[in-house]
Amino acid sequence: MIVTISRAYGASALAVSRAVAERLGYRLVDEQLPVVAAWRLGTSADVVQTATERPRGFGERVLEQLGGGVPEASQPPATDDSPAEMRRAIEEAVREEAAAGDAVIVGRMGGTILGARPDVLRVFVKAPLDWRAAHVAESLGIDDAAARAEIARIDEARRTYAREGYRVTWGDPRNYDLVVDTSKFDVDGSADVIVAAVRAAGG
């Protein structure tokens, strides 16, 4: 079975995803998606990552580490790839991961890309803004105002990406099979809820 996890920024969804993957014995698919898409497009993971939701992350650092053996990776060529081409590259990567079976796919509109298939459980992980702001502030070592600004920036980027790329409303419960609030269940409890849902669905 494939579990796709969409999330509100700061809701600890990656920690939840890791716990779910570990308990189910599934592969965790997260940062590798922009890396794979970047190689398809001949650009950097940072370009793909920024186009979907967030600034420079692990994927770009991986490409830089590979740069010693692959010169093209250290200085990726400029690209004129359109948002549509980036989406297609990510979609291909998502479908390839899903075809391999038993995976937890984080973000990248995985649930929308794969659709309402019987072997896919589409999850949205959320939490109230105050809870998320406190979590982000503690995690990044920033104040409350900065945390709220970062949440607003990334949530809006995800909302825009979903609307413009897929004509869906990001975070709308109707687009998911399960919505989990980490402020109520914490990371372990949220993972338990998702795992129970996977088991109930035959995974």
Q: What is the mean pLDDT of residues 172-191?
A: 95
Q: Which of 44, 3, 45 is nearest to 21 (CA)?
A: 3
Mean pLDDT of the chain: 79
Rounded Cα distance between 33 and 200, Å, is 28
88, 33 Cβ separation under 8 angstroms:
no
pLDDT over 70 at 91, yes or no:
yes
Encode pLDDT of 29-86 as tens digits: 986 544 444 444 444 445 445 455 544 343 433 343 344 333 333 333 334 446 677 7
The CA-to-CA distance between both ends of the chain, in Å, stands at: 5
Look up the CATH number of the domain holding residue 173: 3.40.50.300
Please identify which residue in the block is written with the tokens 């809701």.
11
Residue 203 lies in a domain: no
Residue 200 lies in a domain: no
Report CA torsion sign: 137, 22, 47, 154.
negative
Residue 61 lies in a domain: yes
Residue 170 lies in a domain: yes
**Residue-level pLDDT at 64:** 38
- Exposed e or buried b for every residue in 152-176, given b needs 16+ CB within 10 A? eebbebbeebbeebeeeebbeeebb
Sheet holding 2-7, edge to edge: 27-29, 103-106, 2-7, 120-126, 178-181
Q: What is the mean pLDDT of residues 13-29?
A: 95
Residue 112 lies in a domain: yes
**Residue-level pLDDT at 177:** 94
| pTM score, whole prediction | 0.75
Percent of the chain with pLDDT over 70: 74
**Start-end of H helices in 42-143:** 45-52, 58-66, 71-74, 83-99, 110-114, 129-140
User: Domain total for the chain?
Assistant: 1
Q: Retrieve residue 18's tokens.
A: 């890791």
Three-state DSSP class for residue 190: helix
Domain containing residue 74: 2-195
Q: What is the mean pLDDT of residues 95-119?
A: 90
Rounded Cα distance between 20 and 34, Å, is 21
